[in-house]
Structure 1
Amino acid sequence: MLCVIVPLCALFTITQQVTPRDRCVCELANSEQPFPHDKLSIVEDNASKCNNKITSQKTLELESLMLGLERRLPQLQEDVSMLEKEDDGELYGVLSLHVIENEMKDIQVLIDRLNSTTLGHQRITTETAELLEDLKAEMEELEKFDTMHVVKRQQANLRLTRDLDTCRNGLHPTIQPTEPQHGNCPHGLFGNVTGPRVYTAGEYPGSYKYGAWGRDPKPEAGMESWYWLVMLTSSNKYSHYVRLYSSLSSLIVGVSVPGNIQIHSSNPTTNTIQGPNVVLYAGALYYNCYNLDAVCRFNLTTKTVTTLQLPKGTRYNSKGNFCHLEECYLFTDLDLATDESGVWVIYTTTQDFGNLVLSKVEDGEPPTLGQTWRTSVYKQGVTNTFMICGVLYATRYVSSEVEEIFYSFDTATGKEKFNLGIFIKKMSSNIESLNYSPVDHMLHAYCDSYMVSYKVLFE
């Protein structure tokens, strides 16, 4: 009888026996412990629970509430100081007390939400910390089964990949303009976007995918800190009212003192808002008129509507939308924008072969179309536009997490740039509307029913 023992990768002992009948018999003896797959499945489930508990939305919710409280308290202090100075009978004192009482109620609501959010976060943090400690211990136990050091090599590869990404991003900073983009901009050159600074579901969380929000660059007296909101309440296409909020904190907690300011009692009908690209300027709402290639201006005080007809051949009724490869944003044929100088309208026409056209809206009764510029960028290759100091900027879809400001057109020089490379971190896959506010130098974005704002940085 011949016996041969051969080591196989230090894992198995193989014994070969040759019997008189010329038969081979192999005996395999595993020198390693069997891998605990069930334990690994439990670890993966626990890790998934951690990911579900700790999200960026929860962190931003707390930051938004803190920001709202930070902005509301100085206003209350100012109103109390004004009350102390009043001494001309009972009327003004009563009115001021009523204003302060309403503000204190709003602040109390904000504080209650902040307290409940903070307690919830503390509980989640404690539970998650304990779970992470358990996961760490279990993973250390599982790593003992990695006799080939596969996991260590994967971890090293991940570190190298992260370092490479950091290096790659560092090699592509925001492109520095070689000349002023607009000679009359008092803030300097537009350099970058940071944030988001505000991220909130507002009064109707998750209810209306399309809409717009922001601030009036030229507000009426007493409404300097007010915000406005328009939601497309009919099939993500139309709306017939605008909501006003006396402060950012009121918008976050969903307290609209005036309520709905209706353009018309029914929707959709004459003068209905069509599409999400809406702006408020000097107490008037500018938007795409229902079923028309025209801009409507709704005066919030007089409740009157005037119309500005756009040139013949202007695409409308969802025939010249903003798009990316996976989706087009319905009824975005006309984009209204505001900057330091007033209101602009961005659109396209058949004679311009689908390229962006930019016109200045001149104030008057009725408003008129001012100077017009034609660009060489295709509108359906763009997802949004906005204006800063007379310069048109266009964005495009990069991924569900990133939007890129890639293009600019300077109305002062007529020069175009296609390589700006300024990136916006998105909180949702789509940005249905985007507008710049010169009041606070913020970009206000409406993203799949969420309101998000970003800080604009100037060089």
Structure 2
Amino acid sequence: MKSSLLSVGTAAFSLAFFSQCVSGKDCVCKLNNLQRPFPMERLDSIRTGAFQCNKSITSTQLMEVDILMLGVQRRLEQLEESVSALENEDDGDLYGAVSLHIIELELAEISVLMAKLNNTISSHKQLSESTATKLQNMTEGMQELEAFDLLHVASKQRENKRLTKDLTKCQHDLQATPEPPTPQTRCPQGPLVNVTGPRTYSLTQYGTSYYYGAWGRDPKPVPGKEDMYWLVALTSSDIYANYVRHYSSLSTILVGVGPVDSTIASSNPTTNTIMGPNVVQYGGALYYGCYNTPSVCRFNISERSVTNTPLPKNTGINNKFPFGHLDGTYSYTDLDFSTDESGVWVVYATVENFGNVILSEIIESSPPSLGRTWRTSLHKRTATNTFMACGVLYATRFLDNETEEIFYSFDTETSEERYDLAIHIKKMRKNIQSLNYNPRDRMLYAYSDSYIILYDAVVCSCRN
């Protein structure tokens, strides 16, 4: 009987060979690994911790504190203005009851915001501390596991991931924004069932000078403009505007800093001037009612050029068929433009249709053109606003100074009309001059008596 022992060691492995031979019989060999066994349980624990961290922290959470702080800042500025107005109304011992009530409401709003801000900061602090501890534990664990990587596979993988990330970023910068999915009138998220908020509420950079206007985000932005917000205020008689203002982010438009103006016309009012507040931006172009003509204007923002297409004969303009309620009408709102998952739409009314709402698709081209058209039974003067979401036209009406109601819908796929929705919107000001839905973030953008307000559009997956 013979036996032998052989050890082999390199930078990558260490093995021991043990062989035993018995005379006249086969040899038996045994291979032993001299390295420590790899702790798979430790690696699984680190993977689980990393997944939980990714799940518990979102970009929305990181923005929440900034948005709340901006909201508190603007409320305090508004409160200071209200107190100044109250002081000016002092006529001895009698103060304006209305001003006092406004201040009371503003103080209550500030208290609610501060409580929410404190709770959010406290929650984020606890999350931050917990996450920091988990990250430290994961870092130490990975350093221990890296001792098993004798071929330096982990370090090479990190370098490969960094190079892949850089390559992906370069490719993204070179490629255009992907085309939106094939238009569908029935969206997987279902119909609108509620509107919550407001999420943000802020006076524009113009102050309270201009009561009519619109704002929002481009649902189909050009490359590099994905985070940009736009604002149009009717700066001439609450009827006309000759430029659109852009901001680099939500924060900058809320505080009113760093705007970039794109001039459409040299003066107000003149050819190509914006007429009416119901304006939208889509695919790098602004769509609006042309000055003093029943036409759709399309302003290409990058090229600074305007093209247009006429609406049907006898389409109402110049306050012939504006939005309104029992106390009055919203001036020069004869044409209303909207965006949704499938593109751009225009709402208007004609004499032949007895002032009832007509809905038309706008074909995105230069010049633009009209596509499919639907006639409804909704009289335009009975609504205060309309907007599109997922191929469905919604209309609102004035209930009182605090509440607007989405009461009507028209489904372009089935032509079904409903007058019983009863979805309430909490108003921060008395009037909403424009309202538009953005399919990218599923939010409603409202322009209300010089204030820009953001609401969440709540949908359900309950379509048949």
**What TM-score range do you get, normalising by the shorter chain?**
0.5 to 0.7
Q: Residues 45 and 422 of structure 1: is their aligned pair in 2 closer, same or farther, counting only changes over 3 Å?
A: closer
Partner of 1:327: 328
Q: How many Å apart are 1:367 and its aligned residue?
A: 1.1
Matched ranges for 1:393-408 at <5 A: 393-408=394-409
Partner of 2:219: 217
- Contact 1:241 1:264 (8 Å CA) reproduced: yes
- Contact 1:63 1:198 (8 Å CA) reproduced: no
CA deviations on 1:362-405 (whole Å, 9 max, x unpaired) are 11221111010000011000100000011000001100111100
Does residue 266 of the first structure (1) align with residue 317 of the second (2)?
no
Matched pairs, number: 304
What amino acid is the match of 2:103?
A: N
CA deviations on 1:255-302 (whole Å, 9 max, x unpaired) are 1342x1100121110000000000000000000000000010000000
Q: Residues 61 and 205 of structure 1: is their aligned pair in 2 closer, same or farther, counting only changes over 3 Å?
A: farther
Q: 2:381 & 2:243 partners in 1: Cα distance? A: 28
Structure 1: gaps (5+ residues): 1-41, 70-84, 87-181
What amino acid is the match of 1:403?
A: E
What amino acid is the match of 1:370?
A: G
Q: Which 4+ runs in 1 deviate beyond 3 A? A: 48-51, 56-66
- Contact 1:64 1:197 (8 Å CA) reproduced: no
CA deviations on 1:165-194 (whole Å, 9 max, x unpaired) are xxxxxxxxxxxxxxxxx8621222211100
What amino acid is the match of 1:411?
A: T
Equivalent residue of 2:251, what SS?
Answer: helix
Partner of 1:52: 103
Q: How many Å apart are 1:58 and its aligned residue?
A: 3.7
Matched ranges for 1:4-403 at <5 A: 52-53=103-104, 55=106, 56=108, 58=110, 184-258=186-260, 260-403=261-404
Does residue 447 of the first structure (1) align with residue 448 of the second (2)?
yes
- Contact 2:429 2:448 (8 Å CA) reproduced: yes
What amino acid is the match of 2:416?
A: K
Q: 1:409 & 1:253 partners in 2: Cα distance? A: 37
- Contact 2:185 2:412 (8 Å CA) reproduced: no
Q: 1:359 & 1:399 partners in 2: Cα distance? A: 30
Q: 2:194 & 2:324 partners in 1: Cα distance? A: 23
Q: Residues 185 and 448 of structure 1: is their aligned pair in 2 closer, same or farther, counting only changes over 3 Å?
A: same
What amino acid is the match of 1:215?
A: R
Q: 2:388 & 2:311 partners in 1: Cα distance? A: 19
Q: 2:318 & 2:102 partners in 1: Cα distance? A: 42
Structure 2: gaps (5+ residues): 1-92, 122-161, 164-183
What amino acid is the match of 1:309?
A: P
What amino acid is the match of 1:280?
A: Q
Q: 2:206 & 2:117 partners in 1: Cα distance? A: 16
Q: 1:45 & 1:352 partners in 2: Cα distance? A: 47
Partner of 2:179: none
Partner of 1:139: none
Q: 2:443 & 2:111 partners in 1: Cα distance? A: 20
What amino acid is the match of 2:270?
A: T
Q: 1:383 & 1:54 partners in 2: Cα distance? A: 25
What amino acid is the match of 2:278?
A: N
- Contact 2:434 2:446 (8 Å CA) reproduced: yes
Equivalent residue of 1:249, what SS?
Answer: helix
What amino acid is the match of 1:343?
A: V
- Contact 1:64 1:198 (8 Å CA) reproduced: no
Q: 1:337 & 1:65 partners in 2: Cα distance? A: 33
- Contact 2:323 2:384 (8 Å CA) reproduced: yes
Q: How many Å apart are 1:51 and its aligned residue?
A: 7.0
What amino acid is the match of 1:378?
A: H
CA deviations on 1:204-234 (whole Å, 9 max, x unpaired) are 2212100000110000111111110000000
Q: Residues 354 and 62 of structure 1: is their aligned pair in 2 closer, same or farther, counting only changes over 3 Å?
A: farther
Q: Residues 51 and 410 of structure 1: is their aligned pair in 2 closer, same or farther, counting only changes over 3 Å?
A: closer
Partner of 2:62: none
Equivalent residue of 1:244, what SS?
Answer: strand
Q: 2:322 & 2:291 partners in 1: Cα distance? A: 15
Partner of 2:85: none
Q: 1:205 & 1:211 partners in 2: Cα distance? A: 12
What amino acid is the match of 2:264?
A: I
Q: How many Å apart are 1:199 and its aligned residue?
A: 0.3
> TM-score by structure 2 length?
0.62
Q: Residues 208 and 350 of structure 1: is their aligned pair in 2 closer, same or farther, counting only changes over 3 Å?
A: same
What amino acid is the match of 1:452?
A: I
Q: 1:398 & 1:414 partners in 2: Cα distance? A: 26
Q: Residues 59 and 448 of structure 1: is their aligned pair in 2 closer, same or farther, counting only changes over 3 Å?
A: farther
Q: Residues 183 and 299 of structure 1: is their aligned pair in 2 closer, same or farther, counting only changes over 3 Å?
A: closer
What amino acid is the match of 1:345?
A: V
What amino acid is the match of 2:458?
A: L
Partner of 1:157: none
Q: 2:374 & 2:115 partners in 1: Cα distance? A: 41
Q: 1:403 & 1:308 partners in 2: Cα distance? A: 33
Q: 1:270 & 1:60 partners in 2: Cα distance? A: 47
- Contact 2:185 2:342 (8 Å CA) reproduced: no
Q: Residues 403 and 53 of structure 1: is their aligned pair in 2 closer, same or farther, counting only changes over 3 Å?
A: closer
- Contact 1:61 1:199 (8 Å CA) reproduced: no
Equivalent residue of 2:428, what SS?
Answer: coil
Q: 1:396 & 1:444 partners in 2: Cα distance? A: 16
- Contact 1:286 1:296 (8 Å CA) reproduced: yes
Equivalent residue of 2:352, what SS?
Answer: helix
What amino acid is the match of 2:436?
A: N
Q: How many Å apart are 1:453 and its aligned residue?
A: 1.1
Q: 1:286 & 1:265 partners in 2: Cα distance? A: 18
> TM-score by structure 1 length?
0.63
